[in-house]
């Protein structure tokens, strides 16, 4: 029986133990790390991997793209796709710093909750994403691609607007960049927001009661921060659809452990897909979002049964 091999490539100096452990638990026999890999190195590595086994053996080999830089990960993913030759293919799965599976899980949970509790999904809603790092950026793009009017909210002067907008352009996503560096700016954003997502640095409170009291249209708020204090006041780490009251009304909350639970299942399932699918799996974060939705559909079916 041939061994199922995952080549873990990253621009960084080390690979993630979380990703490696999950890959082995999901069925890969070997996980081989390659660090310090840049986009220009990817084509040669992929072609080494595809030509050492007979054609149509894509289930036995996969390349995982890690690291912390979503811009580099996208470059590497595109380079890997272009390196396939005829039936000589391997699976490719990108998830830098867990940003792809985390953002997919956030948007899928919000979509599910809105459909169940508010009579319609994200399409046409106004979404504010606080935090312009990898998770926030990918979340904003996914929300935009689902038809939301999306604002990506800058929290610090160091946030790079030009790089963020270039990344949005790569995915043809219409995302508005707005400053949220002051309380007044946050309040102005919240006045129109129906969905709020906090994807900021752990252990930092982004939205307090004083800001939320102006969010009179708010339906759902999600927070990725599991380190106290929460990024959004009132959201518990295990919340999944709990009603949170504030002066302007109430909103349904999604906490970081609910997001993390789905993220784990999505990443585990995508690893399995990479070595079990009927074709060479090419998994970017829009693909991770579709998979996250399918996980939630199956979960709902089991509850009904």
CA atoms of 295 and 288, how far apart (whole Å): 10
Does residue 303 surpass a pLDDT of 80?
A: no
177 pLDDT exceeds 70?
yes
Phi, psi of 240 (to 5 degrees): -150, 85
Does position 294 have pLDDT exceeding 80, yes or no?
yes
* Of the listed ranges 118-122, 264-268, 297-301, the one predicted with least confidence: 297-301
Could you check whether 5-98+261-304 and 101-258 share the same CATH topology? yes
Domain formed by 101-258, architecture: 3-Layer(aba) Sandwich (3.40)
**How many other CB atoms sit within 10 Å of the CB of residue 267?**
27
pLDDT digits (tens, 9 = 90+) for 231-262: 999 999 999 999 998 877 899 999 999 999 99
Decide: helix, strand or coil at residue 246: strand
Given this model, what pLDDT does residue 304 score? 72
Tokens of 82: 């272009």
For position 305, what pLDDT does the model report?
A: 63
Place of tokens 């995302």: 175
Q: What's the CA angle centered on 297, arms 235 and 300, to 5 degrees?
A: 70
Instruction: Give 180-227 pLDDT, tens digit per residue.
Output: 999 999 999 999 999 999 999 999 999 999 999 999 999 999 999 999
> What's the mean pLDDT when you consider all of the chain?
95
User: What mean pLDDT comes out for the span 263-280?
Assistant: 94
113-149: per-residue pLDDT in tens?
999 999 999 999 999 999 999 999 999 999 999 999 9
Band of pLDDT at residue 58, cut at 50, 70 and 90: confident
Q: How many CB atoms lie within 10 A of CB 111?
A: 24
Tokens of 176: 């508005």
With pLDDT > 70 as the criterion, what percentage of the chain qualifies? 99
Residue of 40, 65, 53 whose CA lies nearest to 89: 53
As a whole number, mean pLDDT of residues 164-184 equals: 97
pLDDT for position 4: 95
pLDDT at residue 245, rounded to an integer: 87
Q: What percent of the chain has pLDDT over 90?
A: 90
Sheet holding 30-34, edge to edge: 30-34, 5-9, 61-65, 91-94, 282-283
CB 291 within 8 A of CB 273: yes
Closest-CA residue to 70 (of 199, 225, 256, 193) = 199
Domain ranges of the chain: 5-98+261-304, 101-258
- CA torsion angle for 210, 214, 218, 223 (degrees, to 10)? -30
Mean per-residue pLDDT for 68-96? 95
For 5-98+261-304, CATH gives: 3.40.50.10280
């Amino acid at each position: 029986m041939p061994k199922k091999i995952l080549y873990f490539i990253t621009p960084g100096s080390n690979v993630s133990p979380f990703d490696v452990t999950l890959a082995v638990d999901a069925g890969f026999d070997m996980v081989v790390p390659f660090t310090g890999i840049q986009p220009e190195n990817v084509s040669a590595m992929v072609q080494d991997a595809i030509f050492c086994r007979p054609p149509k053996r894509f289930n036995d080999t996969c390349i995982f793209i890690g690291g912390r830089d979503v811009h580099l990960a996208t470059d590497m993913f595109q380079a890997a796709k272009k390196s396939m030759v005829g039936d000589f293919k391997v699976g490719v799965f990108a998830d830098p710093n867990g940003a792809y599976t985390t953002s997919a899980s956030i948007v899928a949970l919000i979509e599910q909750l809105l459909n169940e509790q508010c009579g319609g999904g994200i399409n046409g809603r106004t979404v504010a994403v606080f935090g312009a790092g990898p998770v926030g950026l990918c979340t904003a793009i996914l929300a935009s691609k689902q038809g939301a009017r999306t604002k990506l909210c800058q929290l610090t002067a160091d946030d790079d607007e030009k790089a963020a907008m270039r990344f949005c352009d790569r995915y043809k996503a219409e995302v508005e960049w707005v400053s949220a560096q002051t309380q007044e700016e946050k309040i102005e954003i919240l006045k129109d927001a129906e969905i709020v997502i906090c994807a900021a640095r752990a252990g930092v409170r982004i939205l307090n009661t004083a800001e939320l009291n102006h969010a009179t249209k708010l339906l759902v708020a999600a927070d990725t921060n599991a380190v106290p204090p929460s990024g959004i006041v009132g959201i518990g780490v295990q919340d999944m659809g709990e009603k949170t009251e504030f002066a302007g009304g109430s909103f349904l909350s999604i906490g970081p452990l609910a997001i993390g639970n789905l993220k784990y299942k999505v990443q585990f399932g995508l690893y399995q897909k990479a070595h079990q699918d009927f074709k060479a799996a090419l998994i970017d974060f829009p693909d991770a979002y579709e998979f996250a939705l399918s996980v939630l559909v199956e979960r709902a079916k089991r509850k009904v049964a």
